[in-house]
């Protein structure tokens, strides 16, 4: 699962329809992203999720099995647009829509000061009028860990420019 030796890269499509040739293939690997306590706290404030396991380093050091704070699961999911932007792009798409999540599996806790990145692969591609519906598998890797933080099946819609 761990791709520490793989460099970040991005697949760029001139036309949305080209994506159909990538079903079952990897689209890209994002850059590493550092998770700070400040980011965790800000997410907790915005979502009103201030559980001690996320926001109280002293309690986490005493009571958490990880001995440090961990990232909110939804914080990891909120990184999907960032990591998709880093791993693939279309020249002719005018609007993209987050259609939803099919499956989400949180596997390893993401501790404060972790480095996380995403490997994005295309699972499905279905043409629709003026665009396409697609499903991605996004594996959120943690630097130095064999198991990922999270594996997500993300569904998106993309609409192309009218000619």
pLDDT in tens, the chain (163 residues): 444 458 999 999 999 999 999 999 999 999 999 999 999 999 889 989 888 888 888 998 999 888 998 998 899 999 999 999 999 999 999 999 989 999 999 999 999 999 999 999 999 999 999 999 999 999 999 999 999 999 999 999 999 976 4
Q: What is the pLDDT of residue 55?
A: 87
User: Which class would CATH give 10-33+78-160?
Assistant: alpha beta
Quote the pLDDT of residue 2: 40
The tokens 């420019």 sit on which residue?
161
Q: Residue 143: which of 57, 37, 11, 31 has the closest Cα?
A: 31
Q: Are strands 9-13 and 88-90 parallel, antiparallel or unpaired?
A: parallel
Residue of 94, 160, 113, 104 lying closest to 132 (CA atoms)? 160
Question: What's the pLDDT at 3?
Answer: 44
- The whole-number pLDDT of residue 5 equals 58
Q: Would you list the DSSP string of 34-69?
A: E--HHHHHHHHHHHT---HHHH-HHHHHHH-TTSS-
| Tokens standing for residue 23 | 């079903």
Place of tokens 């390893």: 108
Residue 154 DSSP SS3: strand
pLDDT of residue 161: 79
**Residue-level pLDDT at 117:** 98
């Amino acid at each position: 699962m761990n791709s520490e030796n793989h460099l970040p890269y991005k697949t760029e499509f001139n036309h949305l329809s080209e994506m159909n040739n990538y079903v079952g293939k990897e689209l890209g690997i994002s850059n590493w992203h550092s998770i700070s306590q400040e980011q965790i706290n800000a997410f907790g404030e915005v979502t009103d999720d201030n559980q001690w396991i996320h926001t109280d380093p002293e309690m986490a050091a005493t009571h958490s099995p990880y001995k440090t704070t961990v990232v909110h699961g939804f914080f990891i999911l909120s990184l999907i647009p960032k990591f998709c932007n880093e791993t693939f792009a279309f020249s002719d798409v005018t609007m993209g829509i987050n259609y939803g999540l099919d499956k989400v599996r949180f596997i390893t806790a993401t501790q404060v000061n972790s480095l996380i990145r995403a490997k994005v692969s295309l699972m499905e591609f279905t043409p629709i009028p003026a665009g396409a519906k697609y499903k991605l598998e996004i594996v959120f890797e943690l630097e130095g860990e064999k198991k990922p933080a999270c594996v997500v099946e993300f569904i998106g819609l993309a609409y192309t420019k009218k000619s």
